């Protein structure tokens, strides 16, 4: 009898990979019946990742959202699954063990059946507790392998991870092809080897369509024994997101697999409602480039979901780079050519940083280092001049073991800076925190909530939870949305930037200070050059000395203060950002001439 291939609709990740927000709970409840009526899904990805955090940014209760969104699927027997980041839980930084354990208990009681757990470094130590806690809570434990294409990421390498997580007790394996660069034949061999050694382990494939491999990969892993395939629906399928259910189902059917029938009337209703949500407000935060595939992603291996932020960063650097090019009598560089240069730099940097799989947050670390290398080399400075704190933590082993070896240049650089490499279990560095958060909730007069779910949200996302409770988050979101609507000059599903980047005439100081290094803001918010300055026009005086790695200003964001840190020791030669201005991530607000270029200062 032919093997059945089952499908999971990754409705959460469809939105996560497209823009900033996911639909509100009322919209999710509206679309759920049509998803069920499609009749072809055995699973739906409902929550996890940024889902809870996004609801807090709406000013809405994420626990209410998870319970109401999973309920219709629970009722008809469609399994629900969530994504969690191992050591990092549902956020971008490490989470104490007691908070991680509570997460699985809460999410199971809220209606989530399967925990898909991944570590961006494929360090099995970061996944051990995820498996144990999921099983203890009564969830299905699915461990996701972060798939990439490199000399060290062999079938044998991945099988070593599989052996350990199966030992820990996981029920399923997901091949998480987050950038879609896994080669089809490689994925088939890995699937075959897992099934041969562990025939009772279910395998689910998750592949983004950015560089174009994923449909072929789906066919190959299915032939090799995979059980589930992750798919999407229009208008958010393909592009940088996921293949569409219609195409993949027909491909599987034509290859002789058994597949469930698809109700096209229900598909069109899901499609209509998804577009309705885009037109309502979500389209403002969806980058139009996400609808396009790109073979350029094959070489650099960056995930399609981060292309929007990367292009924003490049635009911020383009002016400074071209100022330097003009000062040196060289032609300006177009944004497209700059993108190719960045892709090439990523290809250079990635192996030298130990081949970390390019998935959140490690894709951002590699991209940021490559961007600074590009800027420095175009200005005649050596690579590795600027490496941020988070990237250093990755390099030093504080987030887990890197898959490959660090380049000797990086090792020597760390030693010269007096840094020490960490070889212990990363979880041991983060002591339990639930007692602290219980005490704070008592002081605030807040209830821990049903199944301690409010305690969990507070401990996982403290800053965002406080803003939700105070009403600040809802007001901020509504203000942002109204601002977008007021500025719109096109249909609502056409994205408009929240804040327009200012245009600076930098020719004059480019000639005077050809080696000046731009200072960029790390996040969107309000520019504050000095915290204690009352005068709105205040800004640093040109000539002011600054130190590399030491804050010279701040950005007031929705979640708190972000430091503005210069990359070099030197003095300010130009200030382009006014005190109190709204700024966006990557915007240049000052230029610093390094001490090396200006002489001893």
pLDDT reported for residue 557? 67
Q: Is the pLDDT of residue 409 over 50?
A: yes
- Residue 446 makes CB contacts below 8 A (sequence gap 6+) with 454, 458, 469
Minimum mean pLDDT range among 94-103, 146-155, 298-307, 409-418: 298-307
DSSP 360-393: TTHHHHHHHHHHHHHHHHHTT--TTS---HHHHH
Spans of all domains in the chain: 6-290, 299-426, 507-598
Radius of gyration (C-alpha) of the chain in whole angstroms: 24
Highest mean pLDDT among 201-215, 285-299, 538-552: 201-215
What span, in angstroms and rounded, lies between the C-alpha atoms of 448 and 464? 16
Q: Is the pLDDT of residue 237 over 50?
A: yes
List the helix and strand counts (H, then E) for the chain.
Answer: 23, 16
pLDDT reported for residue 536? 42
Structure tokens at 570: 């030197």
Axis-axis angle for helices 472-487, 51-58 (nearest 10): 80
* Mean pLDDT score, 174-191: 96
- How many angstroms separate the most distant Cα atoms in the chain? 79
Helix (H) / strand (E) element for 102: namely: helix 97-109
Angstrom distances, CA of residue 257 to CA of 39, 79, 253, 504: 17, 21, 5, 59
The fourth-level CATH superfamily of domain 6-290 is Aldolase class I (3.20.20.70)
Minimum mean pLDDT range among 118-127, 353-362, 465-474: 353-362
Q: From 271, 276, 297, select the one nearest 37 (Cα to Cα).
A: 271
Four-residue CA torsion sign, 126, 128, 130, 133:
negative
User: Domain 507-598 has what CATH class?
Assistant: mainly beta
Cβ–Cβ < 8 Å for 517, 596: no
Task: Say if pTM beats, i.e. exceeds, 0.85.
Answer: no
Minimum mean pLDDT range among 177-186, 263-272, 314-323, 463-472: 314-323
* Mean pLDDT score, 574-590: 77
Minimum mean pLDDT range among 2-16, 196-210, 508-522: 508-522
């Amino acid at each position: 009898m032919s093997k059945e291939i089952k499908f999971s609709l990754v409705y959460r990740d469809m939105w996560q990979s497209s823009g900033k927000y996911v639909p509100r709970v009322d919209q999710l409840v509206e679309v759920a019946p049509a998803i069920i009526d499609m009749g072809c899904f055995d699973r739906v990805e409902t929550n996890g990742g940024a889902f809870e955090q996004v609801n807090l940014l709406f000013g809405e209760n994420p626990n209410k959202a998870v319970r109401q969104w999973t309920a219709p699927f629970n009722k008809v027997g469609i399994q629900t699954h969530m994504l969690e980041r191992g050591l990092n839980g549902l956020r971008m930084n490490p989470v104490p063990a007691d908070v991680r354990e509570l997460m699985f208990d809460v999410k199971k009681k809220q209606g989530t059946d399967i925990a898909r757990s991944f570590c961006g470094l494929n360090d099995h130590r970061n996944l051990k507790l995820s498996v144990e806690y999921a099983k203890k809570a009564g969830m299905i434990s699915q461990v996701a392998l972060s798939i990439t294409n490199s000399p060290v990421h062999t079938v044998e390498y991945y099988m070593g991870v599989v052996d350990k997580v199966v030992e820990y007790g996981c029920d399923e394996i997901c091949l998480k092809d987050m950038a879609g660069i896994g080669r089809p034949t490689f994925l088939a061999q890995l699937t075959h080897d897992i099934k041969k050694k562990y025939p009772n382990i279910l395998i689910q494939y998750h592949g983004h369509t950015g560089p174009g491999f994923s449909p072929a990969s789906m066919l190959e892993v299915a032939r090799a024994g995979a059980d589930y395939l992750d798919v999407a629906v229009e208008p958010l399928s393909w592009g940088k997101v996921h293949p569409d259910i219609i195409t993949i189902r027909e491909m599987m059917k034509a290859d002789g697999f058994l597949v469930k029938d698809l109700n096209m009337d229900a598909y069109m209703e899901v499609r209509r409602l998804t577009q309705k949500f885009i037109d309502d407000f979500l389209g403002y935060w969806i980058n139009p480039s996400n609808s396009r595939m790109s073979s350029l992603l094959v070489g650099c291996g960056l995930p399609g979901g981060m292309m929007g932020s990367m292009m924003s960063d490049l635009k911020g650097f383009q002016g400074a780079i071209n100022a330097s090019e003009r000062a040196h009598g060289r032609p300006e560089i177009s944004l497209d050519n700059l993108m190719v240069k960045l892709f090439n730099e990523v290809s250079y940097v990635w192996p030298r940083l130990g081949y970390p799989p390019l998935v959140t947050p490690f894709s951002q670390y590699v991209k940021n280092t490559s961007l600074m290398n590009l800027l420095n080399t175009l200005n005649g400075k050596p690579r590795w001049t600027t490496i941020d704190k988070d990237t250093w933590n990755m390099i030093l082993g504080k987030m887990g073991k890197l898959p490959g070896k660090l380049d000797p240049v990086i090792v020597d650089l760390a030693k010269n800076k007096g840094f020490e490499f960490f070889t212990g279990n990363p979880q041991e560095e983060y002591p339990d925190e639930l007692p602290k958060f219980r005490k704070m909730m008592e002081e605030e007069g807040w209830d821990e909530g049903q199944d301690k779910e409010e305690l969990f949200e507070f401990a996982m996302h403290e800053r965002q939870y406080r803003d939700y409770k105070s009403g600040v988050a809802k007001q901020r979101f509504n203000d942002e949305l109204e601002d977008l609507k007021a500025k719109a000059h096109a249909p609502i599903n056409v994205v408009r930037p929240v804040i327009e980047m200012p245009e600076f005439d930098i020719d004059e100081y480019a000639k005077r200070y050809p080696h000046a290094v731009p200072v960029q803001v790390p996040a969107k918010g309000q520019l504050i050059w000095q915290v204690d300055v009352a005068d709105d026009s205040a800004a640093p005086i040109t000539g002011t000395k600054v130190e590399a790695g030491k804050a010279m200003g701040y950005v007031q964001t929705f979640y708190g203060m972000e430091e503005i840190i210069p990359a070099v020791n030197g003095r300010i030669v130009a200030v382009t950002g006014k005190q109190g201005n709204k700024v966006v991530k990557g915007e240049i607000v000052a230029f610093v001439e390094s001490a090396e270029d200006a002489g001893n200062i």
